[in-house]
């Protein structure tokens, strides 16, 4: 009996030390990816609030900052129903004609599609891709939405290998394209009306209709889409503090897009849901270098004044310079001299040009354009001006001055109390 017992213990010891699997470190902990080390994303998408999610394997990053976290902490039901493993593709739906789908986030995995809203899986999902998106293949590489105006109709671009499947949301029809000059996209993103194909640790911006790529790409994603040590976010441009703000111009176009300009950069204010980010002016208006003096919008066009030159661009993307421009201030508006600010009030045809202490009114519907009124103002040497539903605001340093309308502005004998620019107004940092 003693011999048997000893034999059993000996066998157990041998199994524990040799036959049993050695203790392995937690694979989930060991495999946590670091996007600042340079990785290839599986999918990128904003949610209904504009928060961007970057996916890699079973992990995601919530926004442009922070460490990776397990995907099932944010999209729990997806993992409960079907082990997430990784996401093949994802996009945020743009379909205002169908509010039941608008702003929902779609995830694709193998042959399934999952629809989320407010981080909650919609009833009836997951479904087969063919059920929701007939004609779209399985095992996708990437997907991105393309609203009408940027594409011919509200669409989704699906990427697989060398093929791009353009899916019309309303008609559920598919057109297949091949863009050999675009790298193979492992994820794609529409951000601030521009389209990005991610590949490796890089990204390439492309035209969603033609697939055309600028010669300036690819670029390292760590400079633009995340905050990483030793990498300049946004190419080195940062949003200023409100107490240090000094804008050069501000305008709202007919489509409701509001832009502010400061030095060589601009920001979009109507897209705060997707974050306020600074970009070089030449990124959107390549001929306008070295900043602007004044900007105003009128009849689907944006007028940009720099020195004695006027540049007129179509206001919709891509922002195309009107043929024959730039022209001189004298040719275009019938005036000369430095312009401090310019603005057009909604539904009006008069641009108010501020030069030092003078305000000159020019009828934009007249030919030739000449100053119809020339008046002195109490407030002078402003940095920028804007006219909207809130009235007229003139900006000077980190402050602004509020007027009810143009008549109140010219009748005023005392400047109103200056008010501080806030982050809610201009997207600056508190």
Q: What is the pLDDT of residue 31?
A: 74
Domain-terminating residue out of 180, 203, 236? 236
Res 230 pLDDT > 90 = no
- In sequence order, the 6+-apart residues with CB closer than 8 A to the CB of 345 are 352, 387, 388, 392, 405, 406
Q: Greater confidence, 70 or 326?
A: 326
Shared domain for 181 and 318, answered yes or no, is no
CB 420 within 8 A of CB 399: yes
Helices assigned H by DSSP within 15-121? 27-30, 76-81
CB 402 within 8 A of CB 411: no
Nearest to 71 by CA among 90, 52, 84: 84
Q: What is the pLDDT of residue 1?
A: 39
| 237 — pLDDT class (breaks 50, 70, 90) | low
Q: Greater confidence, 393 or 4?
A: 393
Q: Greater confidence, 226 or 174?
A: 174
Give the global pTM.
0.71
Shared domain for 289 and 381, answered yes or no, is yes
Strongest mean pLDDT among 73-87, 193-207, 277-291, 413-427: 193-207
For all residues of the chain together, what is the average pLDDT? 87
Res 41 pLDDT > 80 = yes
Q: Minimum mean pLDDT among 17-21, 74-78, 227-231, 237-241: which range?
A: 17-21
Shared domain for 159 and 257, answered yes or no, is no
Shared domain for 161 and 231, answered yes or no, is yes
> What's the whole-number mean pLDDT along residues 387-411?
95
Shared domain for 82 and 225, answered yes or no, is yes
> What's the whole-number mean pLDDT along residues 388-401?
95
Q: What separation, in Å, do the N-terminal and C-terminal C-alpha atoms of the chain show?
A: 81
Q: How do strand 399-403 and strand 391-396 relate by DSSP bridges?
A: antiparallel
Nearest-angstrom CA–CA distance, 41 and 46: 14
| 24 — pLDDT class (breaks 50, 70, 90) | very low
Domain-terminating residue out of 236, 254, 277? 236
Res 29 pLDDT > 80 = no
Shared domain for 226 and 249, answered yes or no, is no
CA 335 to each of CA 238, 250, 260, 317, 344: distance values in angstroms, whole numbers, following the listed order: 35, 21, 24, 30, 17
Res 97 pLDDT > 90 = no
Asked whether residue 16 is domain-assigned, the answer is: no
CATH value at residue 70: 2.110.10.10
Q: Greater confidence, 193 or 401?
A: 401
Res 368 pLDDT > 50 = yes
CA 57 to each of CA 67, 138, 248, 423: distance values in angstroms, whole numbers, following the listed order: 14, 18, 45, 36
Q: What is the pLDDT of residue 71?
A: 86
> What's the whole-number mean pLDDT along residues 214-236?
79
Q: What is the pLDDT of residue 409?
A: 96
Asked whether residue 12 is domain-assigned, the answer is: no
Shared domain for 323 and 176, answered yes or no, is no
Tokens 């060398």 label which residue?
162
User: What share of the chain has pLDDT > 90, as a percent?
Assistant: 68
Asked whether residue 11 is domain-assigned, the answer is: no
Asked whether residue 61 is domain-assigned, the answer is: yes
Q: Greater confidence, 69 or 293?
A: 293
Q: What is the pLDDT of residue 224?
A: 85
Shared domain for 70 and 192, answered yes or no, is yes
Shared domain for 131 and 213, answered yes or no, is yes
> What's the whole-number mean pLDDT along residues 201-209?
95
Asked whether residue 15 is domain-assigned, the answer is: no
Asked whether residue 160 is domain-assigned, the answer is: yes
* Number of structural domains found in the chain: 2
CB 142 within 8 A of CB 197: yes
Q: Greater confidence, 9 or 150?
A: 150
Res 35 pLDDT > 70 = yes
Whether the link from the prior residue into 247 is cis, omega within 30° of 0, is no
Shared domain for 204 and 261, answered yes or no, is no
Q: Greater confidence, 121 or 430?
A: 121
pLDDT in tens, 52-83: 999 998 899 998 888 899 888 888 765 655 55
Shared domain for 353 and 254, answered yes or no, is yes
Shared domain for 348 and 385, answered yes or no, is yes
Domain span at 78: 27-236
Res 386 pLDDT > 90 = yes
Asked whether residue 20 is domain-assigned, the answer is: no
Domain-terminating residue out of 236, 251, 279? 236
């Amino acid at each position: 009996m003693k011999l048997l017992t000893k034999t059993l213990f000996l066998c157990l010891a041998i199994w524990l030390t040799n036959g049993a699997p050695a203790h392995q470190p937690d694979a989930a902990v060991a495999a946590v990816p670091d996007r600042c080390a340079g990785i290839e994303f599986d999918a990128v998408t904003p949610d209904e609030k504009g928060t961007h999610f970057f996916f890699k394997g079973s992990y995601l990053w919530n926004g442009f900052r922070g460490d990776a976290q397990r995907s099932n902490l944010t999209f729990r039901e997806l993992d409960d129903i079907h082990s997430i493993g990784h996401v093949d593709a994802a996009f945020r739906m743009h379909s205002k004609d169908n509010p039941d789908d608008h702003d929902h986030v779609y995830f694709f995995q193998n042959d399934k599609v999952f629809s989320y809203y407010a981080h909650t899986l919609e009833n009836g999902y997951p479904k087969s891709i063919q059920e929701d998106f007939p004609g779209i293949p399985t095992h996708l590489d990437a997907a991105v939405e393309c609203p009408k105006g940027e594409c011919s109709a509200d669409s989704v671009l699906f990427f697989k290998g060398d093929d791009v499947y353009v899916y019309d949301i309303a008609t559920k029809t598919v057109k297949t394209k091949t863009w050999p000059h675009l790298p193979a996209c492992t994820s794609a993103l529409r951000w601030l009306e521009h389209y990005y194909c991610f590949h490796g640790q890089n990204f390439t911006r492309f035209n969603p209709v033609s697939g055309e790529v600028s010669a300036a790409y690819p670029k390292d994603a760590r400079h633009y889409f995340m905050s990483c040590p030793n990498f300049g976010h946004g190419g080195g441009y940062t949003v200023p503090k409100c107490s240090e703000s000094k804008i050069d111009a501000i305008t709202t176009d007919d489509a409701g897009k509001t832009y502010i300009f400061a030095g060589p950069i601009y920001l979009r204010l109507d897209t705060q849901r997707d974050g306020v980010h600074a970009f070089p002016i030449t990124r959107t208006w390549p001929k306008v270098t070295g900043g602007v003096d004044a900007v105003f919008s009128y009849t689907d066009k944006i007028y940009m004044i720099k020195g004695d030159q006027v540049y007129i661009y179509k206001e919709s993307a891509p922002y195309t310079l009107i043929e024959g421009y730039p022209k001189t201030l004298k040719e275009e508006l019938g005036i000369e001299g430095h312009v401090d600010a310019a603005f057009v009030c909604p539904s009006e045809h008069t641009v108010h040009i501020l030069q030092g202490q003078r305000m000159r009114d020019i009828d934009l519907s007249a030919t030739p354009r000449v100053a119809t009124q020339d008046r002195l103002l109490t407030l002078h040497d402003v940095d920028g001006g804007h006219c909207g539903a809130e009235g007229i605001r003139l900006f000077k340093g980190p402050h602004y001055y509020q007027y009810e309308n143009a008549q109140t502005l010219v009748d005023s004998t005392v400047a109103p109390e200056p008010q501080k620019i806030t982050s809610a107004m201009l997207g600056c940092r508190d």
